[in-house]
Amino acid sequence: MAASARIESLIARMTVEEKVGQLGVFADMVRPFAPDVNPEANVRNADEVLAQVRAGRVGSLFNGVGAELGRRIQQVAVEESRLGIPVALAADVIHGMRTVFPIPLGEAASFEPALAERTARATAVEATAAGLHWTYAPAVDIARDQRWGRGAEGAGEDVVLGCAFAAARVRGFQGDDLTAHDALLATPKHFAAYGAVAAGMEYASVDIAPQTLRDVHLPPFQAAFAAGAISVMSAFNDINGVPASANRGLLTGILREEWGFDGVVISDYTADMELVAHGYAEDDRDATKKAFLAGLDLSMQSGFYAAHLPALVESGEVPMAALDEGVRRMLVLKERIGLLDDPYRSLDPEREADTGHLADHEALARDAARRSIVLLKNDDAVLPLKKREQRIALVGPFARDRENIEGCWTLFGDRSRYEPLEDGVRAALGEAAASLVVVPGCDLEAPVEGGIEAAVAAARDADVVVLALGEPQRYSGEAQSRIDIGLPPAQEALAEAVAATGTPVVVVLRNGRALALTGAVRDAQAILVTWYLGTRTGSAVADVLFGDYNPSARLPVSFPQATGQQPYFYNHPRTGRPELPTMSEFKARWREIPNEPLYPFGYGLSYTRFEYDAPRLGTTRLGWDDTLEIVTTVRNVGDVDGEEVVQLYIHDRVASRVRPVRELKAFEKVAIAAGGEVEVRFALHRDALAFTDADGVRRAEPGLFDLWVCANAKSGEPVSFELLASGVSAAP
Ligand code: BGC
């Protein structure tokens, strides 16, 4: 890779130790914010870190915060180290900084990438004001198994949705100009197929067909790079026997040689060290060599590169040219984000102190949160609730909770601004809040003495119960795989007792994954999925409960009938023995439950109803190089204005590899006034029909396709069209 003269001149003057130093990423103990994250590896103190910066042994620090101390770090780097190279300051800023937005999975439910772009931009403004240049986000892992805990950090089970959100988040974090003081460098992660770990077990093995890797797990990374990402984080897992962090085929073959990526690959936390535990490297030195030669540029926190790369270069096992190339990439990254010209960029204590923007961000947090809430069920139109003349009992361990608002991956959220559900409901009710009864009923995971009795009494006296249940937030996120994706038994018992009173129940779920709902929760009159919504949780849920906002989100993950269906994803391949309405013996089916999910991908209700006309195709004979135009009229046939997520799916009837039953190809959220209608237009090119064939080539195959424009992955009636072979005239 060609770099500027100043970078080449720096490389020419660097010692091997200084070069290796640029490749080292360490915990920012100078301004630690979350020292309890991965504590066993945070062995250095502030003085040691500064001494290393002074010695030119640190390329980047992570998970510290603060402009003033950031300046101190940079001053040591620039004025006291021999070559004066600034340090890149990074952190895990996933879905908000001080203002917390919905977890990424929840925000994906909005089906509004533009919303994610706005929340990422707001996050970047706050993070750069707090002395950061770089975030380890977005997570773009596709999660097809809800037992895995890190699905909460991504955009769900679908690749097209995942690509749209990956790109939007990169654009939002980085803005238009990477050198701007409020640009936050994005890092899509975890490369690759981290979400495909066997049985949803964190850090487990990934045994995957190359075609699935390419068609499902790699596209969101490509989308992130196309949107401007210039760094990527390697994954912990192995892929078909080779750990991703030492996987030359992936890190060099696909990433650089095939895609032409010229940015930086950063390891996940001690992922190079873990090659020894994987049994893929003999010892620490071997691990260093394998990781570096595979294409892992930066080593996070293990110190392995510092300890072993110099000797490996000395012995010739790692060519100096390879080391130089890694250093060049890191210096180019620093140049691209403006650090070589302005080492003190994003380190302005005045800007940090100025909280003028926070009011705007609060409003955005509320809007993003309510746009992420999915209405699954609303029997007898129990929702929206009335603010007057309705006695409401707010029951459940999440009613007053402040500890499970931010979700699994928030280091820097301003907890003093978090708004519990009760506060939001009270504010919405105004004076009528005097009659609101609030009863926890149980703890998150355990019964409380007299809890159920109090809840039942409150339910009996109420016209409607809002039952706030869910997973504690630590059930999702890193290292939080679950064997049963249901609710804790104490909460289920509470739900049964409350439901037995006969008072209508509105379940408000808090969750970091799709859940398997059972019993009284599943049978409640209404169900809202609220994920973890962040700072403005209370207001956002109240907006939906009382109809001040008409819910518009849709599921980005299928809600199964039972945990045993996992991995369940709507776009599964066709079987040779599908279940038939007339016959189910010797067919692909579960003995105990229907095959279908309880609520499919893309599903969600509104307080109004929408009707779709059959899609009208520009042609039913699509020429090889032509574009298929699709138009559908969607009507709001209810009494209130609403927003619908119009979804386009296809199915390839016959192909050289078994194809999914349906695949989302496009979507658009549209606002339609009560009684109104809109024409929604899509355009499909054959690229959207392509898949990776047996030879690893991504191409479309001529033939018949079904196409749906509909409300979710299980609805609608298909129309069909034919993709004509190259050279065949489209004229009938
Ligand atoms: C996680 C990454 C994160 C890193 C740094 C790891 O444990 O897998 O997602 O960016 O730590 O905190």
Give per-residue pLDDT as tens, 622-674: 999 999 999 999 999 999 999 999 999 999 999 999 999 999 999 999 999 99
Round to whole Å and give the CA distance between 338 and 350.
20
Question: How high does pLDDT run on average in the chain?
Answer: 97
Which ligand 1 atom sits closest to the C-alpha of 139? Answer: 9
Amino acid at 414: D
pLDDT value of position 222: 98
Residue with CA closest to ligand 1 atom 2: 268
State pLDDT tens for residues 397-437. 999 999 999 999 899 999 999 999 999 999 999 999 999 99
**Banded pLDDT at 593 (limits 50, 70, 90):** very high
Q: How buried is residue 723: exposed, middle or buried, by Cβ count under 10 Å (0-12/13-18/19+)? A: buried
What is the rounded CA–CA span in Å between residue 662 and residue 542?
35
Residue 383, pLDDT above cutoff 90: yes
Q: What is the CA(225)–ligand 1 centre distance, in A?
A: 20
Q: Give distance in angstroms: CA of 109 to centre of ligand 1.
A: 24
Residue 40 pLDDT class (50, 70, 90 cuts): low
Give the pLDDT of residue 172: 99
Q: How far is the CA of 233 from the centre of ligand 1 (A)?
A: 9
Q: How far is the CA of 253 from the centre of ligand 1 (A)?
A: 24
Per the confidence metrics, is the pTM higher than 0.75?
yes
Q: On the CB side of 592, how many CA atoms lie within 13 Å of its CA?
A: 6
Choice from 92, 270, 273 to test ligand 1 binding pocket (greatest atom count within 8 A of CB): 92
Q: Which residues participate in catalysis according to the annotation?
A: 268
Cα–Cα dist 294/343, whole Å:
31
Shortest-distance Cα residue to atom 10 of ligand 1: 136
Percentage of the chain lying above the pLDDT 90 cut = 96
482-500 in b/e form (b: 16+ CB < 10 A) is beebbbbebbbbbbebbbe
Q: Which residues contact 112 (CB under 8 A, 6 or more apart)?
A: 371, 669
Residue nearest to atom 5 of ligand 1 (CA): 269
Structure tokens at 151: 């699905």
Q: How far is the CA of 690 from the centre of ligand 1 (A)?
A: 33
- Look at residue 583 and tell me whether its pLDDT is greater than 90: no
The tens digit of pLDDT for each residue in 266-306 reads: 999 999 999 999 999 999 999 999 999 999 999 999 999 99
Residues framing ligand 1 (Cβ under 6 A): 63, 92, 136, 189, 268-269, 478
Local structure of residue 31 (DSSP, 8 states): S
Q: What is the average pLDDT across 42-71?
A: 92
Nearest residue to 409 via CA among 189, 157, 112: 189
pLDDT at 43: 59
What domains can be seen in the chain, in order of their start residue? 370-560 (3.40.50.1700), 610-723 (2.60.40.10)
pLDDT tens-place string over residues 188-210: 999 999 999 999 999 999 999 99
Q: Kindly report the protein residue whose alpha carbon is nearest to atom 4 of ligand 1.
A: 269
Q: Which atom of ligand 1 is nearest to the CA of 300?
A: 5
Question: Which amino acid residue places its CA nearest to atom 11 of ligand 1?
Answer: 269
Per-residue confidence (pLDDT) for residue 45, from 0 to 100: 87
d(CA 732, CA 719): 18
Q: What is the pLDDT of residue 150?
A: 98
Identify the residue whose tokens are 């990527």: 232
**pLDDT exceeds cutoff 80 at 33:** no
Pocket test for ligand 1, best of 268, 300, 409 (most atoms within 8 A of CB): 268
Q: Which helix or strand (DSSP H or E) is residue 53 part of?
A: helix 46-54
CB 280 within 8 A of CB 243: yes
Note the pLDDT of residue 363: 97
pLDDT above 90: residue 351:
yes
3-class secondary structure, 439: strand
Q: Residue 645: beta bridge partners?
A: 669
